[in-house]
Amino acid sequence: MLHEKLCCTSNVCPTTSFFHGSTEVLRSATIEMLALVSRVAEMEKERLIDTTPEGSPSTKPFARKGELKEYIHNAARRHDELLEEARCGQGVDRHLLALHHLAEKNKDDDALSFFNDVVYKQMKTFTLESRQFSQPWLQYYSFGPATPNGYGIGYVIDEDEIRLSLSAFANSPSANVADLAAAITGAYQIIVKTLLP
């Protein structure tokens, strides 16, 4: 974990199956993802897992692949379920956005009290914003952070590779792109060593 806690995440997915389809927010910080990340952190402390790049002199043993594979599959399954729900218009973010707009327009104090609640505001503060845009002609795609201390990830998926563009505000006291890159590299190493033979 980059900052030792799960954060509010946003990845916009299209709702193109609808006439003039728009987008919905996919929130990938799930209970299953928390379980995976927590178990990886425990395994690192127990020195049962190696998150260093290949060939690093500090290589540790990699144990319990089957256990970790199950955590990865559970998180991926839940992510796929949420993605399908969002694509089918069953997300909540765009609906809440419309209700918030109506509450402001109608000066509905009762409704606005919900949107001014501290929990709702935290729910809308995305520390990690990511967007995927893949076309055969596209080399890179960039996306910026939504909050002063957040991160942005733009990514392109091709047949043979995934290319990432990472961003954070230079004056942020807590968001550091180099740290994010190291965390992503470590996560990649875990996935490769767990899922590939």
Answer yes or no: is 29 within a domain.
yes
pLDDT in tens, 105-137: 999 999 999 999 999 998 888 899 998 888 888
Per the listing, tokens 């594979």 go with: 69
> 31 in a domain, yes or no?
yes
Q: Is the pTM of this model over 0.85?
A: no
Q: Which domain holds residue 41?
A: 9-91+176-195
CATH at 76: 3.30.559.10
Number of folded domains in the chain? 1
pLDDT bucket at 104, cuts 50 / 70 / 90? very high
Q: Is there a domain that residue 181 lies in?
A: yes
Q: 130 vs 33, 65, 77, 85, 189, CA distance in Å?
A: 16, 28, 19, 18, 20
